[in-house]
Amino acid sequence: MEKLDMLYEGKAKKVFKTNDEKRYIVEYKDDATAFNGEKKGTIVGKGIVNNKMSGLLFKLLEEKGVKNHFEEIISDKEMIVKAVKILPLEVIVRNVAAGSLAKRLGLKEGTIMKSTVLEFSYKDDDLGDPMINEYHIKAMELATDEQLDIIKKYAFMVNDTLMEFFGQKGIKLIDFKLEFGLFDGEVILADEISPDTCRLWDAKTNEKLDKDRFRRDMGNVEEAYLEVLGRIQ
């Protein structure tokens, strides 16, 4: 497959067109941002870890029935994906209170939620990705009812699959963010699944093994990303 013009450059990835109009090449970057791009930095080796980890998890999810955009890893930092049109939604799944949920509701970080929490944000950098609910999604026509049903079903399937998978590797899946896209008129899972988009804690020590180490200046960021990759592959 031939890599053609860059279609889009995001904060953590570049997306390229290819000679197949139904396929893109995604290139994962070492650039890291937080707080809507206010904090900037580099996590050496992140692109390689996130590419490998996303590929591995998307493959596992496909086997479990979660249709997604992943096709094939083609280099350290690149994968071929289906050319989806991303829906402007961030879908957040939470098992344990952390980050913005802990802050917003005054819960101690680490509080186990009695049941899984699903949240939506409107993907808009200028607005800082504000939280929305299903009524906003419907009223703003961000997704149809049928599409939303699939998104919710997939979000819980991803949670069940990844909780079990990470659990076997001695990692607790605290929360994560998903994005979905349209391909041939169908909603499928897209974007990435990595320590950038998941909170992952060591099951024994609760040590953070994710991007919170960068967000909160905790040090050993590169080591944490490599630790997760080492445990899962």
31 or 71: CB nearest ligand ASP: 31
Choose which of 29, 215, 222, 232 interacts with ligand ASP (CB under 6 A). 215
Binder of residue 33, out of ligand TMP, ligand ASP, none (CB less than 5 to 8 A by kind): ligand ASP
Q: What residue number has its CB nearest to ligand ASP?
A: 33
Residues 6+ apart with CB under 8 A from 27: 13, 14, 15, 16, 47, 77, 78
Token output for 149: 């049903």
Question: Does 65 help bind ligand ASP (rule: CB under 6 A)?
Answer: no
Q: What residue number has its CB nearest to ligand TMP?
A: 99
Binder of residue 11, out of ligand TMP, ligand ASP, none (CB less than 5 to 8 A by kind): ligand ASP
Say if CB 209 and CB 195 are below 8 A apart: yes
| Angle at the Cα of 176 from the Cα atoms of 130 and 115, rounded to 5 degrees | 95
Residue 123 to residues 44, 63, 137, 197: CA-CA distances in angstroms? 27, 28, 11, 14
34 or 150: CB nearest ligand ASP: 34
Question: Does 37 help bind ligand ASP (rule: CB under 6 A)?
Answer: yes
Say if CB 43 and CB 193 are below 8 A apart: no
36 or 133: CB nearest ligand ASP: 36
Choose which of 14, 95, 175, 180 interacts with ligand TMP (CB under 6 A). 175
Question: Does 197 help bind ligand TMP (rule: CB under 6 A)?
Answer: yes
CA distance 217 to 214: 5
